[in-house]
Structure 1
């Protein structure tokens, strides 16, 4: 029992120290201990149970409760190491040029690439973002080399997979809060899509880049870019069946979000700009109606339900909280249940933001807890939801204060 508690304590100290981006030396100084002591504790080499006073001091220096320090409920959020790995991969010579270190090595087959991409994308839609820090660099290296060294149809397929891998990179970076690198990945995805000569992949890459631009404060440019892509590709996409309809509809959903962000940022013409948001949503709804059902082509989750999700998000962006909540509650339970966990948790997080705007703070806590049960990383790790938890702490949540305090602790927010 002694060894078990010592190992648990050391493992949890290492985890939270990493979450706080604190070196072992810094933590040792805060604890009044030697660096060797920290190394031994984290490695589980201490044979006796730590004293209660030591555990309480460690929790205090890490900015969490003792219960949280010793709990295994904490989610392993992506940290600096995952971000650094993805950024480094995007700047690798072989990723940028496709060159291989050993010219005699055969590039990865498109079949293996496809399977790796499906596995990583499925993880994303389940809300498992941290694990992408290990998967994405390998995907980028293998897809880049395959796209540059295969020939004929295999090369075109490799460029499609490279573009989709870069889209995944961009989406993960947005979840992690690095919108600048997300824009870089988005530009690369568009370039690879153009090389694939596939209008479906071109449209998919365009909608992802527009998302990155919007999140990076370039919403007006995102509107212009994504609507230009929609008008350029619409004719070909309408002939490509469900895949074409899905990505075309997503282009207009991203246009709606970018337009809402543009309106929110403009102090002079906000109302006029906001009036254009429903037009983009209506275009998307028309394509969803033609599709006829909710689908997940190219991991888009596009369909009538996703259009409603974007209506909620647009209302929140425009600070129309009551309208956002009303639309969210109007989504049928079976349609909601059919969405991937990431989409469901994202909707609930948007609904919680709408509830905060509408003054329903106690209800917002329970909505965030519901989202956390579906996809813990969407709540505990994303900057936007952590900011919502901070806002709720300032606003007060009545009888939900205890639940909010526990949630803030799981998010790693200081008390």
Structure 2
């Protein structure tokens, strides 16, 4: 315990010295971080230094090398160019629009078959015969199941062929709202997969196609689902305020008369509200986070879809999971763990949701400096969904945990880190 306290005090002193060296006040730094001055005061006194997200922001604002704060180095980013800056400006301008402009070329060279299927223009020449509408519905549902069970390898193989068939079927049946709805769902699933892989550039490409097809479908359920993915990409790209506005505007048009709505309608609305929770917590807006959670709980009184084969997974359990995630983002690790414990004893049918519970639990333990407990939580998450643990966001968590264990008192954590391919 003394070593943990000493390390926290060392980090606090590094932050204080960096701030003083730059002749900045606590209030000035807190304003840039989006916190109250007391937050910076607590950090400098060695309290709250377990929150990796906050420490990374402090490192950025005060230009402190991450290793000085016990963090793994940040992944390299591409240098800014006039082209990339122009792309960011265009994203901001279109953030509130119903349809995004789709780039003409892929932004990242990975997964070429999937990206090719997302590009505008003539549909790629796939050899598979085009199924009828019931078959296409079944294939689209199977793609959603692969996503929910975290079989991302199979999903990446499946999506290009599915999208190719749907695009050809839509070309043969112009104006079909059913096919537009299925295409929108396929594009939504593609965006979700690309976000899991931290491929933000191509996720924008996928969400643009999803929004366009959702508009053509004229189905409020499909549109709400596409807006949800759109908001997810916005928040991940650092535009939390725009994401909150987009969710709020769309949800306001869908709320009410819950007792007369279909389960699919309510699930789409509930998931949209939960995306608002994520965007608001990421943006540090506690008030909006609580508002979205309260509305999602209201919807959850009327619907519970919690199966890997469900079109959309929304239930009271999912609401609680997002509440836990928000608590972790705000640094309320103890409260998050208290909320997570009942779910640890409950069967959660969807592997992605089970893994999410244990990943967020690991984040909370890490905030408290309980690396051994965090490692065990990650191993449980791996047993729920092995491929989900290998996505970049989790690998970054593992890297930070390994960096904190400077004396290598947990060799199993470092072995786990190497097995995931996390740089030492």
Tell me if TM exceeds 0.5.
yes
| Aligned-residue offset at 1:400 | 6.6
8 Å CA contact 1:107–1:149 kept in 2: the answer is no
Once the 2 structures are TM-superposed, how far is the Cα of residue 215 of structure 1 from its aligned partner?
Answer: 1.5
Contact in 1 for aligned 2:200/2:237 (Cα 8 Å): yes
Q: The residue matched to 1:330 in structure 2 has which SS?
A: helix
| Residue 167 of structure 1 pairs with residue 188 of structure 2 | yes
Q: Deviations over 1:227-253 (max 9, x none)?
A: 111112335876432111111111111
Name which of 275, 281, 288 aligns with 2:300.
288
Normalization by structure 1: what TM-score?
Answer: 0.70
1:359 pairs, out of 361, 369, 384, with 369
- Count of matched residue positions in the alignment of Structure 1 and Structure 2: 316
Report what 2:40 is aligned to.
none
Query: Does the residue aligned with 2:357 lie in a helix, a strand or coil?
Result: helix
Instruction: State the TM-score, normalizing by the size of structure 2.
Output: 0.69
**Structure 1 Cα separation of the partners of residues 288 and 309 of structure 2:** 27
Q: What is residue 407 of structure 1 aligned with on the other side?
A: 416
Unpaired runs of at least 5, structure 2 = 1-107
Structure 1 gaps, min length 5: 1-79, 264-272
Contact 2:159 2:186 in 1 (8 A): yes
1:144–1:239 CA distance, 2 compared to 1 (3 A):
farther
* Mapping 1:140-179, distance limit 5 Å: 140-150=163-173, 155-179=176-200
Distance 1:230 1:353 in 2: 30
State the shift of 1:130 in Å.
1.9
Question: In the TM superposition, what whole-angstrom CA distance separates every residue of 1:335-383 from its partner, at most 9, and x where no partner exists?
Answer: xx2331111112211111111112221100000010011111111x211
Once the 2 structures are TM-superposed, how far is the Cα of residue 184 of structure 1 from its aligned partner? Answer: 2.3
> 2:350 is matched with which residue?
340
Is 1:121 the counterpart of 2:144 in the alignment? yes
Indicate yes or no: 2:108 matched with 1:89. no
Pair member with larger Rg: 1
Please say if 1:201 is aligned against 2:219: no
C-alpha distance in structure 2 between counterparts of 1:292 and 1:135, whole Å: 28
1:310 corresponds to which residue?
A: 322
* 2:240–2:280 Cα contact (<8 Å) kept: yes
Instruction: Decide whether the 8 Å contact of 1:301 with 1:339 is kept in 2.
Output: no
C-alpha change, 1:139 and 1:236, in structure 2 (3 Å) is: farther
- Structure 2 Cα separation of the partners of residues 396 and 106 of structure 1: 54
Q: Is 1:275 the equivalent of 2:287? A: yes
Contact 2:305 2:313 in 1 (8 A): no
Q: Which moved more, 1:118-127 or 1:383-392?
A: 118-127
Shift of 1:307: 0.3
Please give the per-residue CA displacement for 1:144-203, whole angstroms capped at 9, x wherever unaligned.
222232257xx2211111010001101100111112221221222122112111111111
Given that residues 222 and 258 in structure 1 are in contact (C-alpha distance below 8 angstroms), is that contact kept between their aligned partners in structure 2?
yes
RMSD of equivalent CA atoms: 2.6
Q: After TM superposition, give the deviation of residue 143 of structure 1 in Å.
A: 1.4
